């Protein structure tokens, strides 16, 4: 778990003065709400309407994000980081969103779940080697991640009627999205760590402004821009669905950034993976699908992963210890400086 003394707010709700479990609950609730609505909208647009324009939809939703951020009162005058910091992050973010949405045209939902559920493992590996983080996770967290991922894949494969449908193009796209995701959370955590004054609104605003033009290249090269424009013009109500989805996803995005800022990328990846498990379980409960022994085995592995993650660590994470040492060093330097200033004031003037 990441230590962070910087004041954090989530849509006007103060997170700083609350215990960790309340911070986690509030941020996770916002994320679950936003992305459960996102999943329903994607199911309707991609499967019911047969529209598969992932790059174009991501591009349109970016403008909705900018509008909502402006309503929240954020302006460029409130930025604390230079624009160049967000270039790499924006490319990774837009590629991740575009590849994830586009893969639904070639993979069914269970297949995508199988790939995306493994995200927590590469996130932890990249975080351990990223120079600005160098996070050292205890063996307990790796075991928890393996159990959780294995249980979710086991649960997904248990449904014989909706078995994963693989396409080489879809596999390439979702693998690319997985690679991007492994860097995305760690890059965001690195920015929050290097400059704790960075706000969630600034992160999303700059990522969208810099990243939106990046989406034009694949849309033009693949011809998706023209085709998607014509299709959506013939069915303008699709834009209404996209706007509604973007509003819900906006809540989820800000909540995810809050989780990353407070708890780190790996813990956030566990939450995002848990959302997939909840979505699958709700589909069975709502539509009264029969649960088999393999389903319960998957749920058991998921529960074991969650319980092992919640067990107290024997040693504090090195990243947290390193942050505490830096904070103490700065505090010591400030005290020495103030003492020297006081001594100089006490000296008689000659």
Q: Is residue 339 part of a domain?
A: no
**pLDDT at residue number 25:** 87
Q: Is residue 344 part of a domain?
A: no
Using CA atoms, how far apart are residues 68 and 204, in angstroms rounded to an integer? 11
Digit-by-digit pLDDT tens for the chain (350 residues) are 454 456 677 877 788 888 888 888 888 888 888 888 887 787 677 666 667 777 888 888 889 999 999 988 888 888 888 888 888 888 888 788 778 877 777 776 666 767 777 777 778 777 777 766 667 767 777 777 777 777 777 776 665 455 555 678 877 888 888 888 888 888 888 888 888 888 889 988 988 888 888 888 888 888 888 988 988 888 888 888 889 988 998 998 888 888 888 888 777 877 877 777 676 666 666 656 666 777 777 778 777 776 666 555 555 444 444 444 544 554 455 455 555 544 544 444 43
Those residues whose C-beta lies under 8 Å from the C-beta of residue 50, and which sit 6 or more positions away, are: none
> The tokens 């927590």 sit on which residue?
120
CB distance 136 to 78 below 8 Å: no
Joined together, the tokens standing for residue 136 give: 């050292």
CB distance 201 to 69 below 8 Å: yes
The gap between the terminal CA atoms of the chain, to the nearest Å, is 55
CB distance 170 to 105 below 8 Å: yes
Backbone angles phi, psi at 240, to 5 degrees: -65, -40
- Indicate whether this model's pTM tops 0.85: no
Q: Is residue 159 part of a domain?
A: yes
Range list of H helices, 104-199: 109-116, 120-129, 139-157, 168-194
Q: How far, in whole angstroms, is CA 106 from its chain's centroid? A: 23
**pLDDT at residue number 164:** 55
Q: Containing domain of residue 177, as a range?
A: 19-311
Using CA atoms, how far apart are residues 65 and 29, in angstroms rounded to an integer? 20
Backbone angles phi, psi at 157, to 5 degrees: -70, -15
Q: What does the H/E/C string look like for 146-163?
A: HHHHHHHHHHHHCCCCCC
> Per the structure, how many domains does the chain have?
1
Q: Is residue 232 part of a domain?
A: yes
Using CA atoms, how far apart are residues 98 and 195, in angstroms rounded to an integer? 28
Backbone angles phi, psi at 13, to 5 degrees: -90, 120
Dihedral, CA atoms, 152, 53, 99, 306, nearest 10 degrees?
A: -20
Q: How far is CA 221 from CA 91, 224, 243, in A?
A: 17, 8, 25
Joined together, the tokens standing for residue 98 give: 């575009």
Q: What angle do CA 6, 11, 13 make, to 5 degrees?
A: 60
Q: Is residue 332 part of a domain?
A: no
Q: Is residue 151 part of a domain?
A: yes
Q: Is residue 324 part of a domain?
A: no
Q: How far, in whole angstroms, is CA 304 from its chain's centroid? A: 23
**pLDDT at residue number 306:** 66
Q: How far, in whole angstroms, is CA 133 from its chain's centroid? A: 17
CB distance 67 to 126 below 8 Å: no
Using CA atoms, how far apart are residues 29 and 6, in angstroms rounded to an integer? 21
Those residues whose C-beta lies under 8 Å from the C-beta of residue 5, and which sit 6 or more positions away, are: 196, 327
Using CA atoms, how far apart are residues 253 and 190, in angstroms rounded to an integer? 17
The DSSP symbol for 339 reads H
Q: Is residue 305 part of a domain?
A: yes
β-pair type (9-10, 13-14): antiparallel
Residue 240: CB atoms within 10 Å: 9
Using CA atoms, how far apart are residues 56 and 63, in angstroms rounded to an integer? 11
């Amino acid at each position: 778990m990441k230590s962070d003394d910087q004041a954090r707010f989530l849509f006007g709700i103060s997170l700083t003065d609350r215990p960790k479990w309340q911070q986690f609950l509030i941020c996770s609730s916002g994320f679950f709400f936003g992305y459960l609505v996102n999943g329903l909208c994607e199911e309707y647009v991609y499967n019911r309407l047969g529209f598969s324009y992932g790059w174009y939809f991501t591009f349109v939703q970016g403008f909705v994000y900018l509008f909502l951020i402006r309503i929240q009162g954020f302006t460029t005058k409130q930025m604390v980081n230079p624009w160049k910091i967000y270039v790499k992050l924006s490319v990774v973010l837009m590629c991740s969103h575009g590849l994830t949405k586009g893969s639904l045209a070639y993979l069914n939902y269970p297949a995508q779940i199988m790939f995306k559920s493994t995200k927590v493992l590469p996130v932890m590996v990249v975080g351990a080697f990223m120079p600005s983080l160098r996070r050292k996770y205890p063996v307990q967290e790796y075991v928890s991640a393996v159990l959780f991922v294995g249980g979710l894949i086991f649960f997904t494969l248990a449904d014989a009627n909706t078995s994963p449908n693989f396409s080489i193009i879809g596999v390439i796209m979702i693998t690319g999205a997985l690679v991007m995701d492994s860097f995305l959370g760690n890059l965001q955590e690195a920015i929050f760590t290097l400059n704790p004054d960075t706000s969630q609104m600034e992160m999303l605003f700059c990522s969208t402004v810099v990243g939106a033009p990046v989406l034009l290249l694949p849309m033009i090269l693949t011809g998706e821009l023209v085709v998607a424009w014509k299709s959506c013009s013939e069915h303008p109500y699709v834009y209404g669905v996209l706007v509604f989805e973007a509003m819900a996803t906006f809540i989820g995005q800000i909540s995810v950034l809050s989780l990353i800022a407070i708890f780190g990328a790996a813990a956030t990846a566990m939450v995002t993976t848990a959302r997939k498990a909840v979505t699958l379980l709700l589909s069975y409960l709502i539509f009264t699908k029969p649960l088999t022994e393999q389903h319960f085995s998957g749920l058991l592995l998921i529960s074991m992963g969650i319980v092992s993650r919640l067990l107290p660590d024997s040693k504090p994470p090195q990243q947290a210890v390193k942050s505490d040492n830096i904070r103490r060093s700065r505090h010591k330097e400030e005290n020495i400086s103030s003492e020297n200033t006081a001594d100089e004031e006490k000296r008689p003037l000659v």
